[in-house]
Amino acid sequence: MIDINIIREQPELVRKSLADRQMDSGSVDEILRLDEQRRELIQKVEALKAERNAASKEIGRLKDSGERQAKIEAMKAVGDQIGALDESLRQVEQALEAVQATIPNLPDARVPYGADDSENLVIRQQGQIPQFDFEPKPHWELGTELGIIDFERGVKITGSRFYVLSGAGARLQRSLIAFMLDLHSRQGYTEKYPPFMVREKTLFGAGQLPKFADNLYRDYEEDLWMVPTAEVPLTGLHMDEILEESHLPRLYTAYTPCFRREKMSAGRDVRGIKRGHQFDKVEMYIYCKPDESEAMLGKMTADAEETCRLLGFTYRVKQLCTGDLGFGSAITYDIEVWAAGCQEWLEVSSVSNVTDFQARRANIKYRPADGGRVRFPHTLNGSGLGMPRTLIAVLENNQRADGSVAVPPALSPWMGGIEVIRPE
């Protein structure tokens, strides 16, 4: 949530932000209207309360019982007016918060303008597109022939867009998760194992609600929602807390399965395991002081890139344009790896500086060491990395002419001696 003072004092800046994001800016006018109405109601309530307080003192000094009773009756009417105005104020504040919650974060000045993802900018590439002396297979063929990806049983158990990993395939995915968690721990992140279900308040604080309600799975009998990303419970860790400046920055990493209701069309673009309603991801998350967040963005991006390099990937870093920027993000860098069988770039990480957007929504503050007023920290998040696209790239880029797949050396400690995956 952005500071209401920015909307009051710089409404044109917010309107431009929405226009750059390809969004309607009418909500700004609605916020200004409700904010003005709120302030008028507060003034009326405060004036009546001051009148009542003054009258209470006067009543205490009155000697005439009739005059005192008349004054008491008059103040009852004032009390009724205050009650009615308080209810109106509550409704206006509720409406104001609801509209304000739909306003995305303001893009950083460095974010390039663009209508959609086709206008994102590639800012660097590491490595060359790998060449094979045979026709590399896509993972849906490779995994099936190796007996490590079972699409039919996934569909039988649950439905379309689900699959079963088997044998060395299941172990490979588990190894990737363990490798990433251990790597991020060495990079300075503290590992967390959060719940995979959260409350509505937690999702609101992380910026997932109300905007993405249609993409979330939930228990309709209880206030429990399946996490769409570990970013959500990691935001919730310090919800409604005041942190000490000396304890910042805080760096966390966590593995969770992720659950998202997505409408997916048929065809090559979603063939195989690239997109599904359930997937695994290792997340990086940082709380820091505002003047540290730029450096933390550089660190988190570098940490995600190191993950790619250790796995032997050819990858590129893209800066997202305004039209593709996430709801809570001020600036985002995507990392895409090359997949030789699909013959395409696959996004495996998205690293974002969310500034104080989530901290305001989740009521997370920190107390400066000098004892000054509490402030909102900045938060950052990034995939480190996301499955199954990382798994796809490992399989497709390390396949051999005989149909086997060589295990990247970085994963050896977790593969139980398996160096090559062969047909079961």
Residue 273, domain CATH: 3.30.930.10
Same domain, 147 and 80: no
| pLDDT(67) > 70 | no
Stretch 398-415: mean pLDDT: 96
110 domain-assigned:
no
Task: Indicate the average pLDDT of the chain.
Answer: 93
Domain boundary residue among 100, 133, 163? 100
Same domain, 86 and 16: yes
| pLDDT(247) > 80 | yes
105 domain-assigned:
no
Site of tokens 């570098």? 302
Full domain range(s) for residue 254: 117-421
344 domain-assigned:
yes
Stretch 76-102: mean pLDDT: 89
33 domain-assigned:
yes
Percentage, residues of the chain above pLDDT 70: 94
| Residues taking part in catalysis | 260, 275, 347, 350, 389
Contacts of 399 (CB under 8 A, 6+ apart): 136, 137, 142, 340, 341, 405
Q: Checking DSSP bridges between strand 365-367 and strand 242-244, what pairing results, if any?
A: parallel
CA distance linking residue 29 with residue 8, whole number of Å: 10
111 domain-assigned:
no
Same domain, 83 and 170: no
141 domain-assigned:
yes
| pLDDT(377) > 90 | yes
Contacts of 54 (CB under 8 A, 6+ apart): none
62 pLDDT band (50/70/90 cuts)? low
126-166 per-position pLDDT tens digit? 999 999 999 999 999 999 999 999 999 999 999 988 999 99
Residue 38, domain CATH: 1.10.287.40
- pLDDT recorded at residue 1: 86
